[in-house]
């Protein structure tokens, strides 16, 4: 299952709907130097905002929603979110 990613050009949190992505202006300067924070992604299932790393942004690592009532796991692909398949 996949859903399309929406890109936000300007940081306006109120416009962050589920699946919206905003690349940080200072991408790469925060967090671990080997895998810094790169963007903010709104969970495609519940809309909870979360920072994502460079590896997650490029689809090399999965993300898990940090929401209180959501545990969605997904990968960011070029223009969509792909949910992680259960094992």
The reported pTM is 0.87
Distance from C-alpha of 31 to C-alpha of 44, rounded to nearest angstrom: 23
Residues 6+ positions from 70 with CB-CB distance below 8 Å:
43, 45, 46, 48
Q: Indicate if the pLDDT at residue 1 is higher than 60.
A: no
Rounded CA gap, 44 and 65, in Å?
Answer: 9
5-58 confidence digits (pLDDT tens): 899 999 999 999 999 999 999 888 889 999 999 999 999 999 999 999 999 999
* pLDDT tens column, 6-18: 999 999 999 999 9
């Amino acid at each position: 299952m996949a859903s399309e990613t929406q890109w936000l050009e300007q940081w306006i949190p109120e416009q962050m709907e589920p699946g919206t992505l905003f690349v940080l202006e200072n991408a790469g300067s925060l967090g671990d130097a080997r895998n810094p924070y790169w963007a903010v992604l709104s969970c495609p299932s519940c809309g909870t905002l979360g920072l994502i790393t460079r590896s997650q942004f490029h689809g090399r690592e999965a993300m898990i929603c940090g929401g209180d009532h959501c545990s969605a796991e997904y990968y960011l692909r070029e223009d969509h979110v792909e949910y992680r398949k259960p094992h």
